Amino acid sequence: MRYAMVIDTLKCVGCSDCVVACQTENDVPVGYCRDWITERVDGSYPNLELELRSERCNHCDNAPCVRCCPTGASHIVDGGVVMVTENECIGCGACIESCPYDARFQHPDGYVDKCTFCHHRLEKGQLPACVSVCPTKCMYFGDLDNPNSEVSQLLKNRKYKTLAPEAGTNPHVFYLI
Amino acid sequence: MQEELFTSGRNIPHIDPSLEIWHWPISLYLFLGGLSAGLLFFAALFYILGKDKEYPTTVKIASIVPPIALSIGLLALVYDLTHKLYTWQLYMTFRIESPMSWGAWVLLIVTPISFIWTFSYYREIYPRWEQKLQVFKRFKFLNTVEKFAQDNRIYMAYALIPLTLVLGIYTGILLSAFNARPLWNNAILGPLFLVSGLSTGAAAIILLSKNKLEQHTFGKIDLALIIVELALIVHMIMGYYAGSQVQLEAMELLVNGEFTLMFFGFVVILGLIIPAIMELIELIGFKVPAMVPALLVLLGGLVFRFVMVEAGQITRFLY
Ligand code: SF4
Ligand code: SF4
């Protein structure tokens, strides 16, 4: 089992529904978010290229945040999901410094918080909240180890990229381009 | 031209537009950790060499600084944690891949040794305090502790040599282990912080010493350390020059940006080159007040930690 998320940048319209869904589902405190939209503009006028994408923790295989955590609060659970145990976290910030994607933040209660791929929903067989609400259906979620899953098929047939692969983290959120 | 915009509700103070999780306590702690490592290293080394009579400040008097500095450093460190009540979790496990875990454990060993070390000289260095306080009369068990400490000094010294080296290097590796922050992510930072810590330790000894021989020896030691440090800084900058785009951009901060004045003005020129020249002039035989270069080295070491911690957090991967 290896969970992965595939996001189609060609379908994303940047509506931020995924952001709001996550904030609601996970009780994210006001002013914070576990996922966000990046709007990237390349080129110079009038030859501009726009890419919209929904970003979050990449649940990296080679996760620097897990390596540098002094207490083991940051850890990897079944399916490759990177989780933080609240009452083991001392709030040292080492994991925040180590994440090339700035995917983590200090929760106002002190511990470090981030996307969990909605682990509590996965346990019930549901999709992550963001994936389930996307109005353009640009997000896909599934098991990479299963060659017939939707995500495996998409990655087989479409061109894709990951973010900052040069950081060596082996991210598991893929962007179709 | 490339532009990247966040359009969502992502509005995390201290992360956008740039990350700023570690504040002044971390810089202060890195400085005090390095200074203590330096002082304890020299104390242990000169004790092992059997030079405690000729170098009383190094072995005995200056040893009062590390326990205080480490305590302040630890308080500063805990102050910057955001989930403080769970600090004990640091000591429920040892994580070999986490520099912070190494640091936590090394400090847990070095701090008590530093207390015992200086305590073993208490009666010798502060006879007047003892007359006033009479702690040994009041608390009988302290005599046993003292005896134990004095008998085992040599073992403490042998333990301190590797431990202080780990502590000194760790202050740099803590930063360099983060490949997400290109300014920190270079292998030179560990040795550089170690040398800088030793050099601030030597400077502190010069400052506290009233003994000409001691001041002179440590003037020489400090000069050598400063030269090594300068060489390592050149190395570091060359490393950035030869690095990837993110490292080139990180370097801009130091050589041609926000932190240039602090880095070259305060750290390199005021904190290294000028004290080196003054110490050199003294070696040749001119009279220079030994205080001045020592203070400059300490100041430069402190500013260096602040520059590296703050500038490093601005740098990141672009994707
Ligand atoms: S994206 Fe960041 S927080 Fe998530 S697993 Fe990778 S390094 Fe850790
Ligand atoms: S802030 Fe918490 S999760 Fe992050 S490295 Fe420190 S203890 Fe681990």
- Candidates B2, B3, B8, partner chain A, best to mutate (most A CBs within 10 A): B8
What is residue B16's predicted lDDT score, i.e. its pLDDT?
62
The CATH number given to whatever domain includes residue B213 is 1.20.1630.10
Do the domain assignments include residue B175?
yes
Identify whether the C-beta of residue B315 lies closer than 8 Å to the C-beta of residue B179.
no
How many of the other CB atoms lie within 10 Å of CB of A124? Answer: 7
What is residue B19's predicted lDDT score, i.e. its pLDDT?
67
Residue of chain A minimizing CA distance to B79: A92
**For residue B5, is pLDDT > 80?**
no
What is the rounded distance in angstroms from the CA atom of residue A27 to the CA atom of residue A29? 6
Do the domain assignments include residue B15?
no
Q: What is the H or E stretch that residue B214 is in?
A: helix B212-241
For residue B76, report the distance from its CA to the centre of ligand 2, in Å. 17
DSSP reduced 3-state for B212: helix
Q: What is the H or E stretch that residue A51 is in?
A: strand A47-55
A122-171 pLDDT per residue, tens = 999 999 999 999 999 999 999 999 999 999 999 999 999 999 998 899 99
Residue of chain A minimizing CA distance to B185: A98
DSSP reduced 3-state for B90: helix
Sheet bearing A36-44, strands edge to edge: A47-55, A36-44, B2-6
**For residue B7, is pLDDT > 60?**
no
What is the rounded distance in angstroms from the CA atom of residue B127 to the CA atom of residue B134? 10
Mean pLDDT (whole number) for B200-221:
92
Cβ contact (<8 Å) for A94 and B98?
yes
Identify whether the C-beta of residue A4 lies closer than 8 Å to the C-beta of residue A144.
yes
Q: Residue A81's beta-bridge partner residues? A: A77
User: Domains in chain A: how many in total?
Assistant: 1
What is residue B9's predicted lDDT score, i.e. its pLDDT?
44
The CATH number given to whatever domain includes residue A102 is 3.30.70.20
B219, B311, B249, B310: which is closest to B28 by C-alpha?
B310
Q: Point out the least confidently predicted range of A31-40, A159-168, B195-204, B251-260.
A: A31-40
* Protein residue with least CA distance to atom 4, ligand 1: A57
Span between the terminal Cα atoms of chain B, in Å: 14
Dig out the tokens for B2 from the structure. Answer: 């490339």
Question: DSSP letter at B91?
Answer: G
ipTM of the complex: 0.88
Burial of residue A165 (CB within 10 Å: 0-12, 13-18, 19+) is exposed
Vertex B3 angle, CA A30 and A36, to 5°: 25
Q: Residue A7's beta-bridge partner residues? A: A139, A175
Phi-psi domain of B184 (left: phi exceeds 0; alpha: psi -120 through 50; beta: other): alpha
Phi-psi domain of B220 (left: phi exceeds 0; alpha: psi -120 through 50; beta: other): alpha
Residue ranges making up the domain that contains B67: 24-314
B71-113 pLDDT per residue, tens = 999 999 999 999 988 988 989 999 999 999 999 999 999 999 9
Residue ranges making up the domain that contains A130: 3-176
What is the rounded distance in angstroms from the CA atom of residue B164 to the CA atom of residue B169? 8
User: Domains in chain B: how many in total?
Assistant: 1
Confidence (pTM): 0.92
The nearest CA of chain B is from the CA of A67 a distance in Å of 6
